[in-house]
């Protein structure tokens, strides 16, 4: 079932109950302009199957979603011709997620637009060394 959660604002955009400016659509995903853009052409891509995070999607659905993200970027490239992109998603509250329906942000970037890179999202490496963290991966 698609766009199945009646209280979800992104499901409501999917059904047309809440209007949005469509950028791209295919069988499994819908892309539309963010209502409070952080860049010209800031777009969000949502899977048509409701899931709160990427962990709630099947492997097949994730693969399809990534293809839809790429197609959306190509559409933005064709229409707006940006100089670059930042693409990613906020995962859970700690990651800045507000809307609990997985959505991938696409930020078109322009030379000298005063924005930062992905690295500017977080600059708090914590107290544990890279070597210690690597060991934890080896143990589990
Ligand atoms: P999050 O912080 O959950 O990753 O981002 C949610 C995004 O959805 C925000 O950038 C916000 O501006 C956008 N958004 C929230 N409600 C609406 C809406 O009703 N319509 C559109 N087009 N975007 C929305
Ligand atoms: Zn939803």
| pLDDT at residue 2 in the model | 81
The CB of 28 under 6 Å from ligand 1? The reply is no
User: Which residues have a Cβ under 8 Å from the Cβ of 16 and sit 6 or more positions away?
Assistant: none
Fold of the domain spanning 9-139: HIT family, subunit A (3.30.428)
CA of 139 to the centre of ligand 2 (A): 37
The CB of 53 under 6 Å from ligand 1? The reply is no
SS3 64: helix
- Strand ordering across the sheet containing 29-33: 22-25, 29-33, 43-47, 104-109, 84-88
| pLDDT at residue 11 in the model | 97
Query: Active-site residues: which are they?
Result: 103
| Residue 32 CA from chain centroid, whole number | 11
The CB of 111 under 6 Å from ligand 1? The reply is no
| pLDDT at residue 123 in the model | 96
| pLDDT at residue 3 in the model | 84
Q: What is the pLDDT along the chain (140 residues), one digit of tens a residue?
A: 588 888 999 999 999 999 999 999 999 999 999 999 999 999 999 999 999 999 999 999 999 999 999 999 999 999 999 999 999 999 999 999 999 999 999 999 999 999 999 999 999 999 999 999 999 999 99
**Tokens at 95, concatenated:** 């990651």
This model's pTM is above 0.85: yes
């Amino acid at each position: 079932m698609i766009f199945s959660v009646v209280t979800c604002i992104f499901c409501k955009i999917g059904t047309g109950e809440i209007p949005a400016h469509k950028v791209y659509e295919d069988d499994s995903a819908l892309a539309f302009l963010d209502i409070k853009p952080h860049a010209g052409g800031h777009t969000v891509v949502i899977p048509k199957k409701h899931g709160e995070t990427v962990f709630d999607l099947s492997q097949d659905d994730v693969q399809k979603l990534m293809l839809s993200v790429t197609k959306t970027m190509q559409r933005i490239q064709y229409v707006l011709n940006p100089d670059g992109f930042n693409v990613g998603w906020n995962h859970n509250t700690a990651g800045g997620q507000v809307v609990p329906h997985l959505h991938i942000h696409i930020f078109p970037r322009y030379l000298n637009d005063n924005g930062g890179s992905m690295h500017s999202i977080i600059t708090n490496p914590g107290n544990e060394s890279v070597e210690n963290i690597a060991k934890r991966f080896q143990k589990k």
